Amino acid sequence: MIRLVFFIFLYINSESLPALDRQDIDIKNYLAKRQWTLFETKDIPKSPLEYVVPILIFKNGSNVPSCGIIFGSEPDYEYKDIFGPEDLEMFPHCISIDGMKVFMMLGEQYLVLTYSVQDTRTEKYENSIFFRIKDQNIFPDKKLNNMLKSIDQVEKQINIENQIAVAKSELIKSEYKNLKFLERDFISNDHSSFSVFKEEKTNRCVFVAESNGELKRYSSQDFVTQGLCIEFLATGKASFGDKALYLAIFIDEKREKKVAVISINNSGAVAAEVSLSERISQSGKVNDIKSIKKYIAKITQ
C-alpha cells in the first residue's frame, strides 16, 4: 500500500503503458525469479540497441524504484544497475530514464544514458552514465564515468548531446597528455568533433579531427611556412559542397591571421584543405569565423 500511494503521488500525470511492449524480448521470467516488479511507464526512451532494454523496477523489499538496463537474450539476460536506493531508503532514488544514445570513439562503441534522480521530496537532478559495448556485452566504463564525475557532471538538467561532447573531449584529451587542450575551442557533432591543442615547446598548434570515433592529427605546420602558431583565436564550422569544414584561426610567425581548414566528407574521410586555407588567408577575409563563412559561401555559389 505504501508503494502504491507513493507512486500515485509522484506520477499522477503519467499514463501507465507496458514499457516492454516496445521491445522484442521478454524479460518477465527474469524479473519474477528475482522477485522484482516492473514499474510500467511510457516515459522510457526507445533503446537504440535491440538487445538492450531500459527499465525501472522495484527490487525485492523496496518501495521506490531502481533504474537499469537488461541486455542479452533468454535465458542469459544480464542486469546492470544505473541508480537505485541504498539500504531500502526512500531517497535518493531513480524516477526516470530520459535518453539513450550510441556513439563510437577511439575504436570503441559506447552507450550513454541520462536519468533523473529524486534527491529529496522537493529536489531532483539529472545525471548520465556511460557503458562500453563489446560483442553485445555491456559494462560501465569506470574510467570515463570517473573522468566526468571529477568535472562535476551532476546538473539540474542534462542534454545527452552535451554529455557525449564532454565524454569525447575527455577521451581525446587523454590521447594527447603532453599537449595543452584548448577547451573553449572544442566542437562536437553527431559523427565528428574538432579539437585544438597548443604545443608550447615548439609554439605550434595541433588540430585533431575526429570522424566516427577515429582521430586524425594535423599541425599548424601543415598550413603555414614555418608552422608557428603564436596565438590561437577561434574555431568554427562551415559547409563546402558535400563537405563539412572545421575552421581554425590563428596568428602565425609574421603576426598575420591565418586559417587552417580541415574537411570531413559524407563518407567520413578527413583531409587537410591546404589550398582552400591559403585562398581564404590570402583573401584577407580572416578577421573572424563569420567573415570566413561568408567568403566560403561566396566562392561556392
Domain boundary among 158, 189, 204: 158
- Say if residue 271 is in the same domain as residue 208: yes
* Cβ neighbours around 44 below 10 Å, total: 22
Q: Is residue 191 part of a domain?
A: yes
Compute the average pLDDT of residues 272-287.
96
CA gap 82, 260 in Å, rounded = 42
- Say if residue 223 is in the same domain as residue 126: no
Q: Is residue 171 part of a domain?
A: no
Domain boundary among 124, 158, 192: 158
Encode 126-161: b = buried (16+ Cβ within 10 Å), e = exposed. Answer: bbbbbbbbeeeebeebeebbebbeeeebeeeebebe
- Say if residue 151 is in the same domain as residue 185: no
Q: Is residue 121 part of a domain?
A: yes
- Say if residue 17 is in the same domain as residue 82: yes
Q: Is residue 168 part of a domain?
A: no
Q: Which three cell numbers stand for residue 19?
A: 514499457
Residue 22 banded pLDDT, cuts 50, 70, 90? very low
Asked if 80 and 69 touch (Cβ cutoff 8 Å), the reply is yes
Looking at residue 157, what is its pLDDT?
Answer: 67
Q: Is residue 165 part of a domain?
A: no
User: Which residue would you say has higher pLDDT here, 148 or 99?
Assistant: 99
- Say if residue 141 is in the same domain as residue 190: no
Supply the range of the domain harboring residue 217. Answer: 176-299
Domain boundary among 101, 132, 158: 158
Looking at residue 30, what is its pLDDT?
Answer: 87
**Above 60 in pLDDT, residue 13?**
no
Looking at residue 23, what is its pLDDT?
Answer: 42
Q: Is residue 280 part of a domain?
A: yes
- Say if residue 147 is in the same domain as residue 264: no
- Say if residue 27 is in the same domain as residue 146: yes
- Say if residue 198 is in the same domain as residue 293: yes
**Above 50 in pLDDT, residue 288?**
yes
Compute the average pLDDT of residues 108-118.
96
Looking at residue 152, what is its pLDDT?
Answer: 56
Looking at residue 64, what is its pLDDT?
Answer: 94
Asked if 218 and 228 touch (Cβ cutoff 8 Å), the reply is no
Looking at residue 168, what is its pLDDT?
Answer: 96
Compute the average pLDDT of residues 139-148.
92
Report how far apart the first and last C-alpha atoms of the chain are (Å, whole number). 69
CA gap 274, 16 in Å, rounded = 57
Total structural domains in the chain? Answer: 2
Q: What is the DSSP letter of 122?
A: S
- Say if residue 153 is in the same domain as residue 221: no
Compute the average pLDDT of residues 14-27.
43
User: Which residue would you say has higher pLDDT here, 8 or 226?
Assistant: 226
- Say if residue 152 is in the same domain as residue 184: no
**Above 80 in pLDDT, residue 14?**
no
Compute the average pLDDT of residues 207-227.
96
Q: Is residue 170 part of a domain?
A: no
Looking at residue 158, what is its pLDDT?
Answer: 84
Compute the average pLDDT of residues 114-141.
94
The average confidence (pLDDT) of the chain is 88
Q: Cα–Cα–Cα angle for 21, 26, 31, nearest 5°?
A: 110
CA gap 188, 260 in Å, rounded = 17
Compute the average pLDDT of residues 159-168.
94
- Say if residue 10 is in the same domain as residue 152: yes
- Say if residue 120 is in the same domain as residue 152: yes
Looking at residue 56, what is its pLDDT?
Answer: 95
**Above 90 in pLDDT, residue 149?**
no
Q: Is residue 251 part of a domain?
A: yes
CA gap 113, 83 in Å, rounded = 11
**Count helices and strands in the chain by DSSP H and E runs:** 6, 17
**Above 60 in pLDDT, residue 27?**
yes
Q: Can you tell me which residue has the cell 572544442?
A: 186
Share of the chain above pLDDT 90, in %: 74
CA gap 37, 35 in Å, rounded = 7
- Summarised one tens digit per residue, pLDDT across range 92-101 is 999 999 999 9
**Above 50 in pLDDT, residue 256?**
yes
- Summarised one tens digit per residue, pLDDT across range 173-188 is 999 999 999 999 999 9
Asked if 124 and 157 touch (Cβ cutoff 8 Å), the reply is no
